[in-house]
Structures are given as C-alpha cells and as structure tokens.
Structure 1
Amino acid sequence: MCVFRLKSLLLVTLVLLCQIGLAQQGLKGKVSGVDGKLAGALIKLVDTKLGTVTNDDGSFEIKDVPEGQYQLRISYAGFEEKLILITVQKGKETEIGSIALKDNSHAMKEVTVKGKANNGSNLEALKMTKNSTKIVTVLSAENIGKLPDKNVAEAVQRAAGVKLEHNKGEGSTVALRGTPTDWTATFVNGDRLPTSDEDDPSRTFHFEVFPSQLVDNIIVTRTVTPDLDADNIGGAINFQTVTPPTKKVFNIDLGAGMNVRAGKPLYDINFTYGNTTKDKKFSYVLSGSYYQRAYATDAMRMVYGSNYSHEINALELKDYFGTRKTLGANAAVEYKPNSRLTLGAHFMHGRMDDDKWQYKTTYNWADGEGQRMRDIGTHGVLQRRLYGGDVTASWNVSDKFKLDAKVASYYNSFRYGPFPYGKGDPRNGYVTFNFINSIEKTFYYNDFVNTDFYGKMPSDPSVKTTPYVLLDGDNPYGTGPHYDNIHPTPNYLPGTDQYYLESITSQTNNTWEKDPVSAQVNGTWTLNDKVTLKAGLKFRAKQGSREISEYSWYPNTGEIQNLRIWLNQHETQDPPRNSTFLNAMSGAYAGQLMPFLTPSAMTGLIGNLGDSLKGYAMDQYNNNYYVWVGSKYHYQEQVSAGYAMAEAKLGKWELVGGLRIENTHFVETGDTQSTQGQMYTTPDGTTSVWYFAPESRTVDRNYLAILPSLNANYSIDSKSDLRLAVSRTFHRPNFEETKPGAPVIRFEDLEFNFGNPNLKPTYSLNFDATYQRYWGKGLMTFGLYYKNVTDHIFTRMEADTDPVSGIIYKYYENAGNSYIMGAEASIDRKFDFLHGFWSGFGVYANVTYSYARMQVPGRPSSQAMTEQTPWLYNIALYYEKGRVNTRLGLNYTGAYLKELNLASVAGYGILHKDTDYDLFVGETYSLDYQLAVTVSKHMSVFGEANNLLNAPYKTYIGQPWRPRRIEYYGPRFEVGVKFNL
C-alpha cells in the first residue's frame, strides 16, 4: 500500500509539473565567467534590501520586486563587478538573460587541460564549498583535468580524507576518512548505483568502468542533511555527469602511451559535443570515452596453514598480464518550456573488458598432494557492464513553493566472456590449466625445521616434533629466510617433461544487481528570506543475484603414467617477464617462473584433447557439489524513506536540521545441502550415484532507522567559516554477509565465507567541527570528528583444523561499542599573489589522521578497528602559467587491520588474544607527474607518468615481514594531443 501511494503521488506530481506556471513580478538571469557557469555570485539591487546568490548552474531569481528602474550589481571574487540598468514592469517577470563577468586577476588565465561542456572552474568549486549547508569538498572539471586520472576513483583521491584502493594498478574503490569502503555512499547525479564485481560482493562500487571524462563536478560530503541518503557513516561522494551547455561546445581529446612493465601501448579518445537552441529552451550534450591499455603485474602469495604456528604451506609466484578496454558514454537533455518549469534527462553507460592471463609457479610443501610443485596457467575475459539514467522535473509552483521529482533506473553486471567456448556458453569462466609434477622420481624439500606443535623449539627432547617451514621471524633456530628472498630447496627442479595435466577448471561467475526503480519527490517552501522548509519521499527497489560455480575437465587417462598428458607435448614459453620477475624485491625471483603453455596453446587445448578429457558440471550429482552448494544466492530489497528539514538564517548563523526515517525490507535466498540422501541413476542405466539434493534457505528481515541531524554554520567574517554538525547515520550489511545456507567458496583464495542472517546494521552518532579560511582563489581547512559506532560488522577468519589444507573459514559478526576520532587539514592555494614567473606556482595538500578502536568478543581489551586506515595524505606541487601546466602529486594510505583470526578451542576460548594472526593491508603510495602545453587555442599536447615509485600492494599476517600477498604494477607513461574545437 505504501508503494502504491508513493507511485500515485509521483504520478500526480509529474502531471502537475507539466503544467505551465503563471508569470511573476520579479527578475531572473544567469551569470557566467571565463570557464562557464558561476555558482555563488552575489546579486544585489542597489539601494534596496533585495538580493540573492546564483545557484549551482549560475542561475538566479529575485521575486516580489516592485515595478520601477533599478541598478543590478553582480559581483564574484576574482572577477570584475558589473552594474546593469533594468526595468521591472507590473505583473511581469523580467528576463535578463546571461551575464558574463570578466576575470580581474593579475595572474594569467589558467590552462584548462580537459574541455567539457559547462566546464566547472576552481572558483566555482570554492563557491559551492563555501555556500553548502554541509561540510563538503567540491572538485571541479578543471581540477579533475589537472592530473592523469582515467576513472573517477583516481580523480577523487585528492580530496581530503579519501582512501583509494587499486585493482591491477588502477583506482577501484574510494572511502572517506579511512573508513571501510562500504561505509561511503557513492552517487551519480544523486543516485546510489547498484554494485557488481568479480571478487567483491559488498555494496562498494568499483569505478574502473566509469571514465573521469564523463564527470563535470565531484562533491565530497562529510556531514549529512536529512535530504541525503543516510547509509553513509563515512560520508558520501556525488559524481555529477556533464550537463547541457549554454552555448555550442565540441571537444576531442586523443592520447597514446606505453605501459613499461607490459611493454605494450595504450591509447584513449574522448569527445564532448553539446549545443542549445536559439531560444535557449532546449539544450543537450553527448560525451564519450574509449581507453585501451595493457597491464602487467608481478605477484607472490604465501599460504599459511595453521591456527597454532605460522607454518608456510606454499609459495606462489604469479605473473599477471592482459589488456583492459573501457568504453563510456553520457547523454543529457534539458527543456525549459517556460520560466517556471524545467524538464531533464540523463543517461550513462560504462563497460570494461579485461582480457586477463596468468602464469603461476607454486612450491607446495603441503597441499594435500604431499610435497609437490605445480605449473599453472589461467585465462579469462572479465566483462563489466553498467547503464542507466534518470528523468527529472522541477516546477516553481508559486513564488514560495517548488517541487522537484526524479525517477531513475540502473543496472550493473559482471560475467566472464567467450573463453574457452563461444559467447553465451555456461562453461565460460576464469579457466585454470593445472599441471603437477610427477613423483615417480622421489621429490622432496630440504628446508624444513623440526619444532613442536606451536612452531617453537622444544624444551624437552621427548616432545614430539613436526617438520615446518618458517620465515626468519618465526623460526626458533634463526635459519629461516626473509620473505623477499625465499628460495625453496627441492632435491631437484622438474622440467616441462615432468609435469602432467591434473585438471582444467573454469570458475564461472554470473553476478548482477539492478535498481529497477528509484523514485523521489521533494518540496521546498520558502517562508521568507530567513526560513526555508523542505520535505520529501523516496523509494528504491533493488534486486540482485550472485552465482559462482565451477566446471571441470579431467584426463581420462587417470594415473597411468605412459598415458598422461604431459606439458612438453604442447607449445610452451617462458612467462613474458621471467628474467626480471619481482626484481623490485632485490631480484630474488628473477627467472624462477617455470615455462608454461603459450596463450594459443591454452586457447586450443580443450578442443585439441577431445575425448582425452571428460567434463563435469558442478551440480548435485558431482562429488564436490557440497563445496559449491552455497555459492548461489538471490535477494530483493526495498527502501522507503521520508524526511523533513528546515533551514534558518539567524544573523551570522545558518542552521539546517531535521529528521530522516528509512525503512529497509529485504528477502534473501541461498542454498544448502539436504540431509536426506537420494539415489540417482544415469540415463544409460550404468551408474548409480548417491547424492544430497540442495535445499533453499530464506531470510526475511525488516528494520527501521530513525536519523536526526543538525548542521550549524557560523560566518566569522567574509573569508572564514566555522562549521559544526551532529548526525546519526547507519550502514546496511552486505548481502553476502547475511546470506543463509551453506558458505560461499573463494576457490582461488581457499576461503569459505559463512553468512550470518542475524547480522545487525551498524549505526553511528557523528560529531564534526571544521574551520574554513578562504583567500583569493584558495582554501584552507582544519577539522575534528568523532564517531560513536555500535554493531560494527567485522570479518572473523580461522584456518582449517587440518593444517595441510591451507583453507580459511570466514564469518561475519557484530562488534561491541567502537569509536573513531580524527583530525584533518588541507590547503589549496595558487601563489597568484606573487609576481611574474613565481605567480604560476601552487600547492594542494591534505592529511587525515584517525584513531579507531573496537571491542571484540573474546579479546581482553579494545583493539584497532578493522578496515579503518589511520593515516592518509595527498600532496601536489604544480605550476600553471601561460601555456604550461605541470604537476607532481604524491598519494599515501597507511597500513590497516582488515580481518581477525578468532579461532577458538573448547574450554579455552579464542586462541589469539592479540593481532599476530590477523590479516593487515600494508601501506600504499603513488607518485604521479603530468605536463600539458597549450600549442594553440584549440590544441594542447601532454605527457603523464603514473606510479613512478612502483610501490607494491601488500597484505600480511600480524607483521609486515610475514606477507600473504605482494603485487607490483610498474609505472605507466602516456603522451598525447588534445583538440578543443
């Protein structure tokens, strides 16, 4: 009934919005600068008390103006003031049109690297920051274009307190103030997008599919008002796509370059075209982007296998390489049939194909097959698709009342493309060709040490010892290797003639999520020039599905040695960078990768082997089905929200407060294995199989969030503001965290993830205080914040009781009381107060420090909060003058705790009272450089270099010298030419 009423209200609203409003006595217009629209310009009728400031799109309106002649003053920091003589007639609204202001800065005009419709300037971004009722940072199109960002995650990382996580060296996910990534809400044009990813089943959006060229402004919000979706404990980031221009715009950018580590080229092309009709009633814009680049990654992984010691089961050396292709498109239209009504629509599409290959050599001290080596190759075509849009309407019903409405719909999906079969074959996936060394000739390692069960030197000679492989920091005899120079010592190194095919497996993944309808309506009532009331309703429906499975092929030859499929029977090659593999780690692993099948040999192997292979689907008749039965689940979620708020201006104070209520209802279904067995006979009647059919389990939950907030802004003077805020926000659990039934398997990582249908949402009471100082075209801020968090969701992991397997079990739980306190500071200043050459220099820098603690059941004292980064900073030095624009930027994210090992023993409780068995993410940093030179009015050339320091991505267990995964991506270089026509 609630949904029916909401839809009816929206229908009535949209019908009303299509009516033509009545003219009013007053005036309206739009203000622009050299770079387009100017938000926050001061509009004043001389010798009266009437005035206003321009909106985000540069427009303004002054109502109830008595008839007569006036002087209209338009002013904006950094621009020449303008006076216009106007006449207001009785009963008529005076349309002034577009007013252009001239830049009065003594510094030369800044070079805009990326041309866009309504290209937002830094001055505009500063004004939007100053005029916001929340604590925000605005990144303009001009700011986005100053560094080599290929997707919007990389573009936003320079805002204060932004944590950026990478995927194959590219920016992937973002979070604010170092909090967990799923605590930050990411919006496109005000709508939170559905999520879909290969590995990450959370509500976190991955931005590799979203090119930065489609974005006009990025608004980073650290505090909330009731009209903002409240699932954002960390904050919210709104990406505003390119909007229709006020005049014709046509820009083309072309670029090309080289990925040094991959040894292959990269190139991109971007365009924007927009125009408006002569009567200015209809405008449109179309922008597109295509980016193709090669990548290469050197990686290693350590597999640890016990809850009682840090023994190493395996060392994996991995060489990743591949090609990514990203295509993005954005279209927008706006229609103004009269001065009161504005209709609009946006559409966006993003897609990325990742043709990914991997060569892997594994040294297995213990993996269920005894002491062995494996030579493995993997290939898959990863496909991500995103599309959707919205229809909007805005109607000034009267002088004091305005209605806004929007209906949006978005779809996001991930699946594997055509390998090893044609498009649409359900067996396509991430295909692993697994060759294992023969042990007909005795094979063993020489680097074991004998310790007690806990990896310690036995104090009593009669104590039974166990052979372990331990790193130097864990080896009680002091003979273990350091992680960056581990050289397994088998008694011989097998050649390609000694590896036979054990199996071929295709890890399949069909994941999608859509918001088929997201509808909202807002009403704004201006009581007077000091008090404004606002209220609204919103409804969002979500549907999603995740199906992970496996299809396998095994040789029909079994264990008969002379019939085995040997590696040397097929075309092989050394991995592409074997001679320099992991040379950043003291060169210890150069040349350590074994030769493997060529890409063409992998592509044709299954077909060429024909009847020598037998395929097995992962269904209830497969002996391994019990492992995979829980890896399929489906869900639906409906969120209904309403809010009411008021904005009051009291002298130097501006107060914005109110209440938001959100109700969440979700139904989720997952499979588990039946306890009642059945007999299945094959169609030919030759084989009978005893199997356990899957059964469904469903969770149906509903919870209500009551979320008040208050923002108070105090204007100290014209250049200084003090902003205070208190609010209550929350975080909905991710769907895999609440999944009923059997666990989800992560085959590559040897993990089983158990859902918790009783998991509670996380709530946070937030306090913020920020001082902002504006001067010239710059901004300096300093802020403090505190979050009191209840029911923080964390991941608990523990190793299998069998220390040989290397399998990790993961569970999701709510922590006790937790808190985060922090401080942040930033400065953005061009030195245009200097003279001559020196006026082109500038600096942008920010730093965030957070101290976070959580109470974990079973541990005696509070500890660091999971997924909370303590340190973040970004520093950029730049020079912008005349034809030259150059910038050097450093971005840093500190190490943080990711998952807890809370393995327990009956009668003893949790084994590890400290974090020595917990999983951490190491510090990451990148140094980027960019240079652009304007050749002419319509052309510029550029060069850029990313990841110059080749800093690794690293995870570790307890201590940095005990790595679990290390990946190096190498630097990336690009040169190109940009045309702005």
Structure 2
Amino acid sequence: MKTLPSLSLATLLLGSQLVIAEEVVEEVVAVGRIFEGQMKAMEAQRNSNRIINTISADSMGKLPDRNAAEAVQRLPGISIERDQGEGRFVAVRGLPAQWTSATINGDRIPTAEEETTSRATAFDFFPTEMIESVEVSKALTPDMEGDALGGNINFITRTAPDETTLDVTLGGNYSEKADKAGYNLNILGGDRSNNGKWGYILNASAYVRSYATDNVEPRRSGEGIKRLELRDYSGERETYGFNGAAEYNMDNGDSLYVKSMYGTLQDDEIHYKHRYRFDKDRVELQQIHNILTTELFGNEIGGEHQLTDSRLMTWKLASYDNHFYYGDVPNSKDNSYFVTRFDQKDVGYVGLENRTGKDYAYNTIDGGTDSAKNISTHLPNGFQMDPSQMSLTSVELYKIDVRERDKIVTQLDFTEDLSYDLQLKFGAKYRDKERTSRYSDEFYIWDTDNFGPAPTLSDFDLKNQPGRNDYMEELDINYSQDFSQVADVSDMENFWNKNRNKFILDEDESALVSNGGALGRNFDVNETHTAGYAMATYNMHDDLTIVGGLRVEQTQTKVKGQVYLADTNTLQDRKETKDYISILPSAHLTYRLDDVSNMRLAATRSFSRPDFGALAPGGAYSEADGEFVSGNPDLDPTYALNFDAMYEHFINDTGIISGGLFYKDITDPIFQSTSTGSYNGKDGVTFVRPENGEDAWLTGVELAFNRRLDFISESLEDFGIQTNYTHMRSVMELPDGRKTSIPRQADQLYNASLFFDNNEFAVRVAVNYKGEYVQEHGDSKDEDNFYGENTSVDLSASYSPSDQLMMYLEANNLTNEPLKYYQGNKGRPLQTEYYGARASMGMKYSFF
C-alpha cells in the first residue's frame, strides 16, 4: 500500500488513490461493503483542512441511486429537485440550486435544460457508475471557483486502476405505475503497465427504463381556479454514459493525463391532458408527444511537473459542450413538443361561482366547495365527451434549443513548500463561455376557408388512453370516468405531416420573435471568467492548521437579443454588457482536539452570477396568461459572507458525531418582481422581471451521527445507522417591505438509514426528507407559490457469495410520495404528481 505525495486538485484525476484538500490519504481497496465505503469517506473528512463531506463509489453502489444528483442526497445539508420522480438538481443547505456550484473534476459544467434558464446543472443525464467519488465543500478555499454561494459539489470521474480490472454489471428494472420493465448495463475495464507508467480506464453504461406520472394541476386566477388540468404522462428514458481516461507517469516523477466523457438523456414522452376550462365553458383534450434530448461532451488534458524538490506545477486544458434539443417529432423540420388540441364547447359547468366577472371553482379554504385533495370537474350530470363534437382547434409546435459551451477552460497551479510547516499555493483559471437560447411557440389552425370544417376527434382511430384505469387512484375521486377516448400520437403526427399545407399560422396566439412574444427566451450570451488566487497552509503546530488566502474573479458578460416596440410594431436589436470583479477572501482553521476530534472554523466570501434567463434583454408576452416576462441585463451578482463552525468526533473507522453552525450574510439576492400595468393597448397586464432585492441572511444548524450499533451490544456489530439533520432559517426583504424567506430555501432536511452488513449480505433502508419552501414570491404571502414537503423511502440489498460476484436489489419511492406545490396554503394546491415505486435487480461480476 503506497502513500502519495502532497498534490493539487488537478491531480485528483491521476491514479486510483483518492487525494482530498492537498492531504495524504492512503489507498483503500474497494471491496463493495457499506462499512468500507464509510471508512474511505470518514478518513477523507478527518484529514481535510476544510469543511467537507464525501461519498465513495462503494457507498453509491449500496444505495438505489441511478444518477449523480441522487448519489449525494444522503449527505448532510444536501437536497435535490426531481423530474418525473428522478433527481435532477442539487442544492446545498436548502438554498437555490443555482447558488450551488456543481463541478466535474473541479470544472463547473455548462447547463442546458428544457425550461430552466438558470446556471443550475441538471444531473439526471450523468450515471453514478461514471463517478469515483463525490466531495461536498461547504466552505471554499481560494483554489476553488468562487461562484458557489451555497457550496460546491465536485463529482470526480473514474481514473486508471492499479491493476487489471474488468467489471460487468447487468440488471433489469421495473416501474410500478408504468407497469413496464427496462434494463441497465455497465462495463468497466482498465489496466496499468508492468512498470506502472501507463494506465487507462474505459467505462460505458446504459440505463433504459419506463415511467408514468399522474398529475393534477388547478390553474388559478387569484384565489379562484379558472381551469383544471388532468395530465397523464408515460414514456421511456434512456441514459447512456462513457468515460475514458489514460495517464503516463514519467521517469522523473512528472505525469500527463487525458480524459474524455459523454453523457446523454433521451426522454421519449407521451402526454394526454384533459383541461376543464371553467372560464371558457369548454373542455379540451391535448395529445402530446416529444423526445427530449440532453447531451454533454467533455474533454480534458493535463499534467503535473515537479519543478524542484519544493515546487510543483499542475496544469489543465478542457472544453465542455452541453446541448438540449427536441427530437424528430413530428418530423425533422418541425422537431418540437408536439401538441394537438380538440375542443368541445357549451359544457354547462355546475357549482361554479362568479366573484370577479368569470365563473371559477374555489377550494374550501376560500369559501368554495372543492376540497384541496379532490377538486371536482364540475361537469353536469350525464355530460359525455363526444369525439364527434370535439373539433381540432390547433396544432402547437413548442420549440426549444439551448446550447452552452465552455470553449476553453485553462488552469495553472503552483505549489511551493516554503518550509516543513508552511506551504504556498497560487494559480490562475480562465474560461470562455458561449450560450445560445432559441425558442418559439407556434400555433397552427385549420384553413377553413379553403378546406372546409376542421376534423373532429371521431375522424381518427380511438382508444382508451394508457394508464386510464388507474389514473390518480391515490385520490378519492374517479377522474378517468369522464375522460374522452384518445387518438394515437403517431396518427396525429402522420396527419400533420400529410396535411401541413392545410394549416395557417396563428400569429396572435403564437409566441414568436417577430411578434415579440418569444424575445425573453431568444438570446446569446458570451462570458469570460478570469481568476487568480493565492493561499497559504500553515501548520502552527501538530494540532492547529490555518488555511487562508484571496481569490479574485473577473466576469465579463455580453448579452445580445431583441426588444419589441409595441407602439411601432418593430424589433430593435439590443446588446448589453456587464463587467465586474469579485474579491473573495477566506480563512479556515482546523484544531485537532485529539486524535479523533476536530474543531473547524471558516470565514469565506462567495458569490453567484445572475441566471442566463434573468440577463435576457428582451421580454415575452403571454396573451393567455396576461403576463409579460422579461429579463434584466443590469442585474448585479449575489454575494455572501459565510461563517461556519463545525465539531467532529470520529468513532473507530466508520462512525462520526458532528455538529455545526453556519451563517450567511447575503447581499443583492435576485427575486422575481411583479407589477401591473398596460402593454400593447391591454390593461391589467402582469409584468414579471428579476430584480436585486434587499440584503438577506441565512442561519442554520447541522447535525450528523453515523456508527455501528456494537455500542449497544456486540451482537449488533454488523448493524449500523446513518443520520443527519439540517435546520435553516432565512430572511430577505422584498421591495414592498415584506420580509420572507429566500426563494427555494427549505427550512429542514434530514436523512436516516439503518443497515446491516456482514461482508456477504448487506441491506439498507433509507429515508430522505426535504421541507417546504417558497418557489416564487407573489404580491402577498397568500399568493406565494410553495413547494411542499417531501419524504422518500428507499431500500437496497446485496449478496456477495464470492469476491467476484455481487447480486443486488434496489427499490425507490416505496411509499409513493407525491410531488406537491400550492399557493399560500396547502388548502390551495397548484400541482400534485404521483410516480409510483421503482425497482431494479441484477448482478455485478468482476473478471479481474
């Protein structure tokens, strides 16, 4: 077992040893046991000079987590946001995901996602099999990127092993709600030359699964429900990943490496939506098909050179490309979120109230008759959706193409050992970033003047929609009994492709660049980040280490878009620039009370750049919602002064008791400002625009307890418990003087796992909880949109009859926990989604 010399962050890519925070960590042979994974994580945390949490590939392999976001949700203070029941965005200490820096091998990854225009990275395309370890830093050092107001989560990809390796994992999976099966496959191979100079690794993975989602969304106007949407999703997701790395160690101790990675998520989704338009006295059926694709390419090359006995130089060149786009639905020219809509009019809804000049439904909390859990369709007795009366109203092509490229990322670091007790490190980093966003929402109507009446739903072959029989079976209301039959989405695509010339573009309903409706999401951003830093690590004596220094980052942003001038009905090009320098000092103190206890203190400054969508110079007007949403190129970044204190007591090799306090003094937080005015001759239009708010603060406490249960009885030495709890409170002041919490900041997080591991058989039950938070602020507390609390229960088990073979079983969302949003109060729901449980089982065989 070898010990590595002190290395920089870039050398995390070299060798199979784990190097964290410039400290020496001995190589640990992974044998796939829960306790072994804990040992590696505890050792890294104990020896670090900063406040971190880690998780190894061994630990991830023992949890039912299939992507990079889900892999870290078990750590203290970490939460995730989900899509279709799968983890997508990661956040530290309950703060907004865009305030957390998510990096791969130390580089922040470009973002590209369907609806999100923030800087938060969607990690559902990145499989856990490609990850060697994860390091969560809650207090930054100067050699880390400073755009991480909440913290940094660094995913370290696999590197060359010390010996011949060939592992194959093969499994199947099943979705309860979709009632369909899939498969997963991972192949990991690598080797090293006899003299140790050459090493390589190749890792390829595939994860194919089906899903289904039942969704109810009451769409509101004030306290009233103007329409009720019953959405039924089904689809197949395919995630593919590849990671390749090679390294060469020279005779003089220098080394070079090259890495390449690829990750993609393809989501083939079918969506049937019944919309009960109380305000329009009609019922609508939308039939939707789309293929959503996200692709990430990354390439890195770097090296390490021992210039003198006391001076080390490391360097890296990298580029990354992240692209989101729709697949060839309904065809390669019109690739889009493809929607066909059929309307049946003159419904005659019953039990509605007219309080504001329109007929709306109301929940009981607002004096109405509809309970929060079971909102009625308000259809009259005997009403039936009649396909012969449901006319084709529109075909919608909802188009998005987002691409972000870090064309070049360069990094150079020098480490100088000035003495046995004092080490100086300094360096620089540069990034050239380019982001393009293209969007339109095109509505086409049947050309009745030339081709007669529009087709009706009865003109197509009909069937019951998939999943109709058990739609929203969790509720006490049978929505599906009133559903119309539906057409197959492929039939609708064929009809469009054969009859496209019979449709006319409805510019009034469409959001286009030409009419100003799509300007807020059509823009180009060019941004350069230039950073330099210097830091020192001083061991005052064996028990006290101080790390301090300064990082300076310059951000130069150029945004290009267009503004629609309503008075002249013309477009005007608009270019805006923003240039600012961020001064980021930091100081860390680690006092080793004894061999098993640490006291840590940290004072740091970090920041968060404004989201890309928030910087857009144009705006978009929605006729249906009466809303004008625009960007604000003049936004300032958000800064935070961070203070952390942490006590850690390590128990044997696998346990810990820790407690910490943290406080963040936040300057210029960004929020969505709403106001009412006139636009293009229409009064009562709601204007939504991001603004810098008044100063805010966040404080919290973080507790963790992990250990074997042998302290209760020796007979329980194979049992263990992992728990952590984070409680937070934040306050920010809106321009109207109202004090509220920071958007997307949860108040509580906790994890609890109970497991058994005797080196042959292992089983773990895990509970993950995230408290409610404000998703978006409205004009008052009653109009704030909230994300409801969420508790998930998962299970994993494995059996290893030999060192080469492991069989596993995994299950997610055992309690069928719903996703919930509401307005102001839980009695006023905005969205409820159910996903059902998921399970997978399979085997891993190590040939070498």
Q: TM-score, normalization: structure 2?
A: 0.93
Distance 1:298 1:798, change over 3 A: farther
The counterpart of 2:347, out of the listed 443, 447, 463, is: 443
Residue 428 of structure 1 pairs with residue 346 of structure 2: no
Q: CA deviation at 1:484?
A: 2.2
1:293-348 CA distance string (max 9 Å, x none)? 00100001111124xxx111100000011001010000111111124201111111
Letter of the 1:732 counterpart: R
Aligned mates of 2:450, 2:601 — CA distance in 1: 72
2:43 aligns with 127
Match of 2:584 in 1: 707
Which residue identity lines up with residue 30 of structure 1 in the other structure?
Answer: K
Task: Give, in angstroms, the shift of residue 110 of structure 1.
Answer: 6.5
Distance of aligned partners of 1:918 and 1:621 in 2 relative to their CA distance in 1, 3 Å threshold = closer
Q: Which residue of 1 aligns with 2:300?
A: 390
Matched with 1:4 is none
Q: Residues 638 and 666 of structure 2 are in contact (CA less than 8 Å); yes or no, is this contact kept in structure 1?
A: yes
CA contact (8 A) 1:39 1:57 kept: no
- Change in Cα spacing, 1:789 to 1:231, as seen in structure 2 (3 Å) is same
Whether the aligned pair in 1 keeps the contact of 2:432 and 2:529 (CA below 8 Å) is yes
For residues 770 and 581 of structure 1, what CA distance do their matches in structure 2 show? 48
Q: How many residues align?
A: 832
Q: Deviation string for 1:446-500 (max 9, x for gaps)?
A: 222244x5xxxxxxxxxxx76542111102xx54444424232346333111101
Of 250, 255, 276, the residue aligned with 1:337 is: 250
Q: SS of the residue aligned with 2:491?
A: helix
1:852 aligns with 2:698: no
**Which of residues 958, 964, 975 is equivalent to 2:841?**
975
Q: Which residue of 1 aligns with 2:793?
A: 927
Unaligned runs of 5+ in 1: 1-28, 32-36, 41-54, 61-74, 77-98, 103-108, 114-118, 454-464, 678-691, 903-911
Equivalent residues in 2 for 1:439-838, closer than 5 Å: 439=345, 442-451=346-355, 453=356, 467-475=359-367, 479-490=369-380, 492-557=383-448, 563-609=453-499, 611-614=501-504, 625-651=515-541, 652-674=543-565, 692-743=569-620, 752-776=628-652, 777-797=654-674, 809-831=687-709, 838=716
Q: Which amino acid aligns with 2:272?
A: Y
Distance of 2:669 and 2:626 partners within structure 1: 26
Please give the residue correspondences for 1:862-877 in structure 2 after superposition, counting only pairs within 5 Å. Answer: 862-877=739-754
1:372 to 263, 282, 294: 282
Alignment of 1:224-243 (within 5 A): 224-243=140-159
In structure 1, what is the Cα distance between the partners aligned to 2:6 and 2:552? 31
Residues of 1 paired with 2:503 and 2:359: CA distance?
A: 37
Contact 2:733–2:739 under 8 Å retained in 1: yes
TM-score by length of 1: 0.81
Q: Are 2:671 and 2:691, in contact at CA under 8 Å, matched by a contact in 1?
A: yes
Among candidates 879, 882, 887, match of residue 756 of structure 2: 879
Residue 628 of structure 1, CA deviation: 2.3
Counterpart mapping for 1:53-92 below 5 A = 58=17
Q: For residue 484 of structure 1, what is the amino acid of its counterpart?
A: N
Structure 2 counterpart SS, 1:578: coil
The answer to whether 1:957 aligns with 2:823 is: yes
Please identify, of 271-280 and 830-839, the stretch whose mean Cα deviation from structure 2 is larger. Answer: 830-839
Secondary structure of the 1:605 match is helix
Query: 2:545–2:590: 8 Å Cα contact kept in structure 1?
Result: yes
Query: For each residue in 1:220-249, what CA deviation from the matched residue of structure 2 results, as whole angstroms up to 9, or x when unmatched?
Result: 100011111111111000000001111111
SS of 2:479's partner is: coil
1:124 partner SS: helix
Q: How does 1:227-376 map to 2 (within 5 A)?
A: 227-306=143-222, 310-366=223-279, 370-376=280-286
| Compared CA separation, residues 435 and 807, structure 1 to 2 (3 A) | farther
Q: Compute the displacement of 1:585 (Å).
A: 2.1
Question: Residue 638 of structure 1: CA displacement?
Answer: 0.5
Assess if the C-alpha contact under 8 Å between 1:638 and 1:666 holds in 2: yes
> Does residue 809 of structure 2 align to residue 896 of structure 1?
no
Deviations 1:600-632 (A, max 9, x none): 322312134454434579999989823224431
Q: Which protein has the larger Cα radius of gyration, Structure 1 or Structure 2? A: 1
1:482–1:141 distance in 2 versus 1, CA, 3 Å: closer
Which stretch has the larger CA shift, 319-328 or 606-615? 606-615
Classify 1:391/1:793 alpha carbon distance in 2 versus 1 (closer, same or farther; 3 Å).
Answer: same
Q: Which amino acid aligns with 1:191?
A: D
For residue 874 of structure 1, what is the amino acid of its counterpart?
A: N
* Distance in 2, Cα, partners of 1:892 & 1:100: 34
Aligned to 1:400: 310
Deviations 1:340-385 (Å, cap 9, x if unpaired)?
A: 201111111001111011000010011xxx3111011111111110
Deviation at 1:182, TM superposition (A): 0.6
CA distance in 1, matches of 2:619, 2:504: 28
Does the Cα contact within 8 Å between 2:439 and 2:521 map onto a contact in 1?
Answer: yes
- 1:711 and 1:335 mapped to 2: Cα distance? 35
Structure 2: give runs of 5+ residues left out of the alignment: 8-13
String of CA shifts for 1:926-963, please: whole Å, max 9, x gaps: 11111111133322222111101111111111001111
- Superposition deviation, residue 274 in structure 1: 0.5
Name the amino acid aligned to 2:425: K
1:369-416 Cα deviation digits (max 9, x unpaired): x31110111111111100112111111111111111111110000000
For residues 311 and 805 of structure 1, what CA distance do their matches in structure 2 show? 20
CA distance 1:824–1:421, change in 2 (3 Å): same
Q: Deviations over 1:822-863 (max 9, x none)?
A: 00011221335677752211111111000100111113x422
Determine if contact 2:126/2:263 at 8 Å carries over to the other structure: yes
**Structure 1, residues 788-822: CA drift from partner, whole Å, max 9, x if none?**
111111123468989x9998643211111210010
The CA RMSD over aligned residues, in Å, is: 2.9
Supply the AA of the counterpart residue of 2:527.
E
Please tell me whether residue 840 in structure 1 is matched to residue 730 in structure 2: no
Deviation per CA, 1:106-157, whole angstroms, max 9, x where unpaired?
A: xxx96448xxxxx984322222111111100010111111111110110000
Q: 1:621 to 1:405 in 2, by over 3 A?
A: closer
Provide the secondary structure at the position in 1 that maps to 2:46: helix
Report the Cα distance in structure 1 between the residues aligned to 2:835 and 2:684, rounded to whole angstroms: 27
* Greater mean alpha carbon deviation, residues 571-580 or residues 405-414: 571-580
Judge conservation of contact 2:442–2:506 (CA < 8 Å) in 1. Answer: yes
1:774 maps to a residue whose letter is F
Q: Secondary structure at the residue paired with 1:202?
A: coil
